[in-house]
Structure 1
């Protein structure tokens, strides 16, 4: 997979990709992540990428021209499956969306900033708009990092145990069951006996029951 991220703050985005699972995925050659500073596509002396909105009102708007130059230049080099705009008014990111995007080959992510982007960018280029929640950030960079983490960890070979992602919360519209590790007895609090039994059919049945129980209690909306 190749991910091209367009941003006015590439330095804000880079650190998550220099550690942990994301770094390992890049080093293994399982994903390429490229950052494109939108100011590099501005032709003005001051590298301007934003301007006041027509009609008045508070907040600056990212201009269509530099975004057009960047996206058009990238599309001349390869075909893209999706051009995604990170925006609070997009469709909420969930596990199903992450699963779907993880199957793509090439994607572009545009990070919004200030008051957003000129609507013509959304009309001309964007194929999907994604939000990570009903709140507003200073820009789309942190949202893009969250989105990339959710997608990249699903790529084959990224996790040491590929079955781990299949049992994550939300994969089957259920919350994950409780998990335990050593010691089996800590200050009088013990691990459920079934998990120590070695009887894997019983263990699996217990996990399914606990997953359903937790979901009914904490997120009943997922069962609807």
Structure 2
């Protein structure tokens, strides 16, 4: 016999889970936006205000700042990974899709500014996140590069990891020097991949 709490009868639990997922996504989006403008040490109250919730809600989901930063990092990696195939399907050319994806990748690199200060490279969590980053994003970049090469837009054989590493290196220090426009240099790099003639 079904009881009042039986989710097969009430359907409440699945809806609650969907609401919880939606709320967590809103918190992570808000935190990512605040991290971009204020860094990862931004006050939790700023993140709560942007998300339209109380600070207690954030602490219920993410008990420590490191928990929040790790969750934002993974959330941003997932969003960047999922964007690749969607951009490939909706862009005029594979090279255009690659350019738009690299732009998102640059946004991601800016969002994770300060992560290394919270999670030192000798921390096991740092290694896990770096492996997650590579596992999720390198195949997407490879897919975009392969599509552009198959279309004859770029030379074949461009290595995704090498390209991503180069983009990352161009972004170093961009947040501390207002005269340095990393995004412009990244755009030049991506434009330079195009086959001429």
TM-score where L is the length of structure 1: 0.22
| Structure holding more strand per residue | 1
> Which is richer in helix?
2
